[in-house]
Amino acid sequence: MKFALFSLATMATSASAGKYFHGHGYKQSSEPKEVIKTSLPKSSELPKELDFRSFGPSSRNYASAVRNQHIPNYCGGCYIFAATSALADRIRLARGDRSSQQVDLSPQVMLNCDTVGGDDGCHGGDPINVYSYIHDNGIPEETCQLYSATGHDVGNTCEGIDVCMDCAHGTGICSAVDESKFYTYGVEVRQGEFGLVNGTDAMMQELQRGPIACTVAVTEDFEDYTGGVFEDTTGTTEMDHSISLIGYGTDEDGTDYWLGRNSWGEYWGEMGFFKIVRGTNNLGIEANCQWAVPSAEDNESWGNKNVKSEEVAVRDPDRLPMYGGLRPSGYETVEEHVTSPLPHTYLTADDLPAAFDWRDVNGTNWVTWDKNQHIPQYCGSCWAQGVTSALSDRLNIMSGGQGPVVNLSPQVLINFNGGGTCEGGMPASAYRYIEQNGIPDQTCQVYQAADLGGRKGRDCDDLCLCETCSPNATSFSPGSCVAVEEPPLYYVSEHGSVKGADKMKAEIFARGPIGCGIAADDAFEAYTGGIYEEEKR
Angle at 156 between CA 151 and CA 162, to 5 degrees: 100
8 A C-beta contact, residue 515 and residue 386? yes
Q: How many other CB atoms are found less than 10 A from the CB of residue 50? A: 18
- Can you list the alpha helix ranges (DSSP code H) found in 74-213? 78-95, 107-113, 127-137, 200-207
Q: Which amino acid is at 27?
A: K
8 A C-beta contact, residue 241 and residue 373? no
Catalytic residue among 135, 241, 344, 374: 241
8 A C-beta contact, residue 28 and residue 124? no
Catalytic annotation present for 262: yes
Catalytic annotation present for 415: no
Which residues 6+ apart lie within 8 Å of 458 measured at CB? none
Q: Go through 401-418 and write b for each residue having 16 or more CB atoms within 10 A of its CB, e for each that does not.
A: beebbbbbbbbbbbbbeb
Catalytic residue among 112, 137, 262, 365: 262
Q: Report d(CA 536, CA 518) in Å as an integer.
A: 15
Helix 127-137, helix 78-95: angle, nearest 10: 50
Q: Which helix (H) or strand (E) holds 506?
A: helix 501-511
Q: Report d(CA 129, CA 288) in Å as an integer.
A: 13
Q: Which helix (H) or strand (E) holds 12?
A: none
Length of the chain: 537
Closest CA to 285 of 193, 220, 203, 194: 203
Q: Considering only the C-alpha atoms of the chain, give the largest distance between any 2 of them, rounded to a whole number of Å.
A: 75
Q: Report d(CA 355, CA 419) in Å as an integer.
A: 32
Catalytic residue among 68, 70, 78, 372: 78
Catalytic annotation present for 481: no
Which residues 6+ apart lie within 8 Å of 330 measured at CB? none
Q: Which residues are catalytic?
A: 78, 241, 262
